[in-house]
Amino acid sequence: MKRLATVVGLSALLGFAFAAEKVQITFWHAFGGGRTAFIQRAVEDFNYTHPGIEVKVEYKGSYRDTLNAAILAAKQGNAPHIVQIFEVGSQLALDSGIFVPIENYVPADLKFQLDDYIKPVANYYRIGGKFNSIPWNSSNPILYYNKDIFKKAGLDPENPPKTFNEVAQACEKIIASKAAPKCITWPLHSWFVEQWIAEQGALLANNENGRAARATNVYIDSEAMKRIMKWWKGLYDKGYYTYTGKPEDWDGANQLFVSQQAAMEITSTSDVTFMQNASFENGFELGTGFLPVPDGVERNGTVVGGASLWLTKGHPQEEQEAALTFLLWFTNTENMVRWHKGTGYFPVLNTSVKVLEWQNWFERNPAYRAAFDQLLQSKANRATQGALIGPFPEIRTIIENMVQEIFQGKDIAKALSEADAQADQALKRYNASVKK
């Protein structure tokens, strides 16, 4: 008995000693479902090829849950090394002060990877000229449409609407011909509004979208916003636009489109793979096109949405280095190609795009093409760079409430000015709370 205990004790000690040789890294992300397994496999590959490092990956719920969990863990001095944070949380993450500006720590021989990011992505995540985090999953909105319904309505199935008016005209035909009960859907989400503002070259906040200095004024009461709301309200009143009634209901909008209740859907490019499978299962032909923009306005392009990976403060140097090694490996050319094929998220490196082109990937998979071309054709300016606003999550709700009020019949000008005042108030309170 005694001997057994000694053996157990010794082997436990050995186990510790062995484990201590490996640097343990924790990585928290917000991807459930099939993507969890996808990430897990990549991490296993890394652990296998890097015997000195062991990365432990954990799914922490939604973007917000993940950020909350990271802040709380940091407060208790127990932060994970790597955290995935959604794009509109960037300012918040900066203000929280629990992360390190990553670019300062990238070793010189790997700096080339930071210069490899495609321009729109670099534009979004370079804050004050520096990467504070490593861009990972990136997407923007495109138009998905049902080619069979288009044919039934007498529309050209190879020529989806490109402007607001063209959408309205196509809808008129689709509804009049009874090709589908509703014409178009997208989640009632502020993200689309933000994209349409950027497409018009307009800003969402002062100080150059909060990029030149901290934003102190949110621009909701603007001409650009008025254009969007007028069009959206018109589609809603005529029964062309439909949504489930619940704000931010991504799945609900997909359900409406996939079940062929609506002929078109505007949603994220990260759903390309899902849409292809779903259209096949439901027996219709899928088309994709650029995000429709207001008429008579030059197309500026879209803002990169998605998330990036942040490194937390306060770890021993060897752990920080190991975490960085993993981060740069995880987002390298090969892994970005894999990630794109598996999900539809953009291959965010120029070299991974080259690999995909060399493989004729976009020719063989045309649905991915629109998504990618739209991103590459975006102009690099303050509008398409996207706004940095601390209380962005709250401002999104304010915009979504405003849209619903407009649907209920509130005067657009009045709704806009009220929402503008509310957003400014929220921003003022936030800014006051971060000034220490």
Partner 1 sequence: MDTHAAYKSRWLPWVLLLPSFVILILFLYYPTIETFVLSLYQVAFLGLSKSFVGIENYKILFTDPEYLQIFKNTVVFAFFVVVFSMAVGLALSVLANQKVSGWRIYRLLLIWPYALSPAVVIFLFMFNPQSGIVNYLLTITLGIAPDWLTNPTLAMGLLVFVAVWKNVGYNVVFYIAGLQNLPGEVLEAALIDGATPWQRFWRVTFPLLSPMTFFLLIINTIYAFFEAFPFVDLLTKGGPSNATNILIFNIYRDGFEYYKTGMAAAQSVILFIAVVFLTILQFRVGEGRVHYGG
Can you state the percent helix, strand and coil of the chain, rounding each to 5?
55, 15, 30
Give the ranges where 259-365 is alpha helix by DSSP (H).
Answer: 272-281, 317-330, 333-343, 350-358, 361-364
Does residue number 420 form part of the binding site for partner 1 (CB under 8 A)? Answer: no
Which candidate, 31, 39, 89, 27, places its Cα nearest to that of 312? 27
From 379, 397, 405, 140, select the one nearest 266 (Cα to Cα).
Answer: 140
Joined together, the tokens standing for residue 362 give 């976009």
Instruction: For partner 1, give the closer residue by CB, 295 or 411.
Output: 411
Please give the full DSSP string across 402-423, using - where no structure is assigned. HHHHHHTT--HHHHHHHHHHHH
Note whether 262 binds partner 1 by CB under 8 A.
yes
Residue closer to partner 1 (CB basis): 3 or 436: 436
- Identity of the amino acid at 364: R
Instruction: Restricting to residues 64-123, name those near partner 1 by CB under 8 A.
Output: 64, 68, 71-72, 74-75, 92, 95-98
Residues in 223-252 that interact with partner 1 by CB under 8 A? 242-248, 252
146 binds partner 1, rule: CB under 8 A? no
Residue number with CB closer to partner 1 (57 or 419): 419
Binds partner 1 (CB under 8 A): choice among 400, 420, 423, 424 = 400
Instruction: Determine which residue in the list 163, 393, 412, 421 makes contact with partner 1, applying CB under 8 A.
Output: 393
Pairing of strands 23-29, 53-59: parallel
The nearest distance, CB 63 to partner 1, in angstroms, is 10
- 166 to 185: interface string for partner 1, x by CB under 8 A: ---------------xx---
DSSP codes of every residue in 207-263: HHHHTSS----B--SSHHHHHHHHHHHHHHHTT-EE--SSTT-HHHHHHHHHTTSEE
Residue closer to partner 1 (CB basis): 254 or 331: 254
Query: CA quadruple 227, 393, 219, 389: dihedral positive or negative?
Result: negative
* Smallest distance from partner 1 to CB 338, Å: 32
- Interface segment toward partner 1; rule CB under 8 A; list 15-23, 257-265, 272-280, 313-321: 257-265
Cβ proximity to partner 1: between 45 and 95 the closer is: 95
Q: Is the Cβ of residue 101 or residue 252 nearer to partner 1 in the bound state?
A: 252
CA dist., res. 357 & res. 379, Å (int): 22
CB of 280 to partner 1, least distance (A): 20
Amino acid at 392: F
Q: Considering the complex, what minimum distance in angstroms separates the CB of residue 409 from partner 1? A: 11
Which SS3 state, helix, strand or coil, does residue 76 take?
A: coil
d(CA 83, CA 29): 6
Per CB under 8 A, which region of 63-71, 112-120, 297-305, 350-358 contacts partner 1?
Answer: 63-71
Task: Give yes or no for residue 61 binding partner 1 (CB under 8 A).
Answer: no
> What is the chain's length?
436
Amino acid at 61: G
Q: How far apart are CA 113 and CA 116, in angstroms?
A: 5
- Based on its alpha-carbon atoms, the radius of gyration of the chain, rounded to whole angstroms, reads 24
* Interface pick for partner 1 out of 256, 263, 311, 323 (rule CB under 8 A): 256
- By rule CB under 8 A, what count of residues binds partner 1? 46
Residue 405 near partner 1 by CB under 8 A: yes
Identify the residue among 49, 104, 317, 408 touching partner 1 (CB under 8 A).
408
Binding range to partner 1, per CB under 8 A, among 217-225, 278-286, 378-386, 405-413: 405-413
Segment near partner 1 (CB under 8 A); pick from 130-138, 149-157, 329-337, 390-398: 390-398
Q: How many helices (H) and strands (E) does the chain have?
A: 21, 12
Please report, as ranges, the residues that interact with partner 1 according to CB under 8 A. 64, 68, 71-72, 74-75, 92, 95-98, 181-182, 188, 242-248, 252, 255-256, 259, 261-262, 391, 393-394, 397, 400-402, 404-405, 407-408, 422, 426, 429-430, 432-434, 436
